[in-house]
Amino acid sequence: MALRGEHDEENCENLVPAVRLYTSINDESQYTVYKWRWFVLATLTLIAASNGMIWLSMSTVANYAADYYDVSLEAINWLSIVYFITTVILGIPAIYMLEHCGLRASILAAAWLNALGQLVRVLSQYDDRIKFPLMMGGQTISSFAQPLILFMPAKLAAVWFPDGQRTLATTIGSLGQTLGMLAATTISPPIVSHHSHIPLLNDIIIGPAVLAVVMATFGVCSSTPPTAPSGGAEEEGHTQSIITGIKQVMVDKMYLLLVFISGAGFAVFCAILTLMTQFLCPQGYSDEFAGWCSALMIIFGFIGSVIVGIIVDKTKLYAEITKTALALTSITLSIFVVFSLQYNQEIPLAILASLVGIAALPVYPLVQEMAVEMTYPVHEAISVGILNISCCIQSAVVVVLLPLLAKPLSSAAMSHETCSTNPHSGGVTAFDQTAPVLALSAFAALSSILTIVGLRPRYHRMEMEHRDKVEE
């Protein structure tokens, strides 16, 4: 049962025999699985976490970053938006690279691009004349890694993990970047209490990026395991061409509905994380509190995602759990919005942020695995790639448009706001965020309604594997 695909025998002469010593047999399917799959997954997760740290490192200290780089808050928001834009532009090339060059080359490219971008960000602090252009340049280079990072988890799960662990593996890989966002939102406010602390934050963030490069370069020596872990993985070499796959999924109405609703859910979550400080500071909440609200969303979202991943691996109830999660997201977000517009509501906001995370975050890895099941035998990179391109397009639109709905604060409200780090500098201005948060809540409600009413998927990969088991 040799698995078709790239296997770098010359580079793995010492590794593969060691891996073979740790094989185990799944009694039900009689496929061999390798413990080294967890190291490959850990490497991808660390790359993604580092990339997530770089992505949102300035979001919870946006006011200080704007002062340090002498730019507007809108310019700081573009440090996040550029990630969405590059994923849209480089999405198809990333799909091609993943399918034709393999997982190993894609992991190496992602690790090195991510680290190089952060290095440029660090160098930006040494030249005041081009400080922000260098910062944006480094951010853009790191963002080049994101398409590969987003597209790889489902592919890695399909070729390295047995069918009973695929959803869990996809969940862990997909949430690596979210863990990086958690790190960024929790460490940035304590480190940056003045705009002069921004360089220190950049110096700290380069550490995980370098470690990820070392793990990827010296630890990941093969795109695939020596033998297939499942029937679906064994058929990897027989999947369709990229062009044929794209044509097929683009006429699948159920898949296109999944593309929209997953993008909407991702956009809502990213908008909250990116704009959390700007949403809360008009009511007098500090950067530290906004960072903790973001952190609670991610922490409880990650816990919920792992639990959901285990449940779905056992039950295969992709659509039912997705519908439930999106409905709960809409409800909890609406309540969060109501409290976010009030003063002195720290405890309710913290609890509600946790509930939003539990409901919203599990949807992202879940719909990726569902997309692969629905579109089989289309390449995983295609079905997941188009899904993620939709996520980035909708996220960019939402993050750009929401601030445009904000209005100047009233004179009475100005006495409460904590947005202005230096009100005499004329740099950062506070805005009334009522319209943006209400619009975000309405968008979340729309996506949940469409999911509940319209999503009726058929799981082609599960059907194929069931037929194979019956024939055996």
Q: What is the DSSP string of 17-47?
A: HHHHTTEEE-TTT--EEETHHHHHHHHHHHH
Look up residue 231 and give its amino acid.
G
Task: Give the DSSP letter string of 273-294.
Answer: HHHHHHHHGGGT--HHHHHHHH
Exposed, middle or buried, 468 (CB in 10 Å: 0-12/13-18/19+)?
middle
Q: What's the pLDDT at 240?
A: 59
Angle, vertex CA 63, rays to CA 60 and CA 68, nearest 5: 110
User: How far apart are alpha carbons 258 and 154 in whole angstroms?
Assistant: 16
Residue 256: predicted pLDDT: 92
Rounded Cα gap, residues 329 and 354, in angstroms: 11
* pLDDT for the residue numbered 31: 67
The topology (CATH level 3) of 34-222+241-471 is: Growth Hormone; Chain: A; (1.20.1250)
Query: What does the pLDDT read at residue 428?
Result: 54
Q: In angstroms, rounded to a whole number, what is the distance separating the alpha carbons of residues 419 and 94?
A: 38
Helix (H, G, I), strand (E, B), or coil: what is residue 407? strand
pTM of the shown model: 0.72
Matching residue, tokens 């409290």:
339
169 close to 153: Cβ distance less than 8 angstroms = yes
Give, for all 472 residues of the chain, the pLDDT tens digit: 333 344 444 445 444 433 343 344 444 446 677 788 899 999 999 999 999 999 888 887 888 888 899 888 888 888 988 988 898 899 888 888 888 888 899 999 999 999 999 999 999 988 888 999 999 999 999 999 999 998 888 888 888 888 778 878 888 888 888 888 888 878 888 898 888 899 999 999 999 999 999 999 998 888 888 776 666 555 555 555 677 888 888 888 999 999 998 888 888 888 887 788 888 888 888 878 888 888 898 889 889 988 888 888 888 888 899 899 889 989 998 999 889 888 889 999 999 999 999 998 888 888 888 888 888 888 777 888 888 888 888 888 888 888 888 888 777 777 777 776 544 334 456 788 888 889 999 998 988 899 899 888 888 777 776 776 666 5
Q: Determine the 3-state secondary structure of 431 from DSSP.
A: strand
d(CA 303, CA 313): 16
What is the full DSSP assignment across 180-226?
HHHHHHHHHHHH-SSGGGHHHHHHHHHHHHHHHHHHHHHH---SS-S
Assess contact for 115 and 341: CB atoms under 8 A. Answer: no
Buried b / exposed e across 309-346, counting CB within 10 Å, b at 16+? beebbeebebbebbbbbbbbbbbbbbbbbebbbeeebe
